[in-house]
Structure 1
Amino acid sequence: MRNRWGKGALIALGALGGAFLILAFALQVPAIGHTIGAPAACGTCHVMTDQVLSLERGMHRELACVECHIPSGFFAKPIEEIKAASRHAAVFLTNSTPDVITATDSSRDIIQARCIECHAGFLRETSLVHHPTDGLKCFECHRDTTHGLPLRN
C-alpha cells in the first residue's frame, strides 16, 4: 500500500507544527503576549475604541486585554488567539462589523473562567448568598468594574 502522504506534505506538516510551537512559546513570554494583546494594539481597530477607552476608566486598566479575553495555558492561549484573530480578520475583510460588539458564547466562557481564576481567593471568602450560582457570569453584574462606566455621547 502506498503512503498517502508525500514527503513534501510531511515536511509542511512538521513546519506548521513547529511554527505553532514557536508561537505558543512566544505568547507565553509576558512582553510579547502583553504587547500583542494590549489595549493599544486592540485599539488600532476603530470599532474597539469604546472598549479601549472604557477599559481605561475601569478597575482593571492595568491589565492587557488578553488577560481576560484569552485563556491561560500553553496550548489553549495560542489556539484561542489564532481563532480570535481569524474571526476578527474575517469580520474586517467582509466588512461585516456589527454596530454593537458583543462577546461570543465561547468568549464569555473564557472571560468567566479568567474572572474566577484571578479572583479565586476573594470568591472563597465571599458567601454564596451574595454571589449565587444561578448561571450569571461575573461581568453581567460587575460590568462597570471591568471596563469602567460606559461612554456616553
Structure 2
Amino acid sequence: MTDSEPTPLPPTEADETGGDASGNKIRFGKAAVLFTVFLGILAGVGTFTFGYGKGASYLSNNPETCVNCHVMQEHMDSWQHSSHHHVAVCNDCHLPHHFLGKWVTKADNGFFHSLAFTLQNYRDPIQIKPRNQRVTQAACVDCHQDVVHAMLPVNAGEDMQSCVHCHSDVGHAFR
C-alpha cells in the first residue's frame, strides 16, 4: 500500500449481517419478507375467491354466467321473455362495443359487483348505476343508428332522451 491509499477498516458485526451499525438493511429485509408474505396471502385469497366465484366464466359471452349470483335470476328470466332475447346477450347491451372499453368495464363491474354481493351491500332490486346507464345508452345507439340518427344531439356532448325511458321492457320484459 502507498501512503495515498486509505487503510481498510476491519469488518464489523454489522457488515457481516448485511446491515450498517443501525441495522437498516436488516429492517428492510424483514419488511420485504412481511410484504412478500402479505402479497402471497392476498394472491392466495384472490385465487381462491376467483375460483370459488367462477371468475373465469365472466370472461365469456354466456348469459348463464350472470345468474352465478342468485340475485340476477329475475333479470335473466325477464331477458328471456324480452324482444332482444334472440338478438342480444348481456354483454351486447351492458358493455361497450370497443375492445378496450369492454374489458375495462367488465373488470370494473366485476370487482364492484363481487364486492357488493360478498358484503351483501346492494339494493334489492338491483339498480343500474349512472356509468352503466351511459354504456347501455351507447349500445342502443350503436345497434340502432339507422333508426335513431334523427334523435341524436346536433352538437357533440349534448344529451338525448334515454332509450330505456320509453323502451324499458326491450332488454328485460315485465319490468
TM-score by length of 1: 0.66
The equivalent of 2:53 in structure 1 is none
TM-score scaled to structure 2, two decimals? 0.58
- Aligned partner of 1:45 in structure 2 is 69
Equivalent in the alignment of 2:81: 57
Q: What residue identity is the alignment partner of 2:114?
A: A
CA offset at residue 33 of structure 1? 9.5
Residue equivalent to 2:104: 79
Specify every segment of 5 or more residues in structure 2 that has no aligned partner in the other structure, as ranges: 1-55
* Partner residue, 2:143: 118
Task: Please report how far the alpha carbon of residue 111 of structure 1 lies from its aligned counterpart in structure 2 after TM superposition.
Answer: 0.3
Residues 112-121 or 139-148, more deviating: 139-148
Deviations 1:13-56 (A, max 9, x none): xxxxxxxxxxxxxxxxxxx9997243211012110111100001
Q: Distance in 1 between matches of 2:146 and 2:96?
A: 19
| 1:31-89 Cα distance to aligned partner (Å, 9 max, x none) | x9997243211012110111100001111112210100000112111011000000111
Structure 1, unpaired ranges of 5+: 1-31
- Provide the aligned C-alpha RMSD in A: 2.7
Tell me what 1:16 maps to.
none
Alignment length (residue pairs): 115
Distance 1:83 1:139 in 2: 23
Aligned equivalent of 2:161, options 112, 131, 136: 136
Q: Deviations for 1:71-118, whole angstroms, at most 9, x for unmatched residues? A: 011211101100000011110221213211111110000000000000
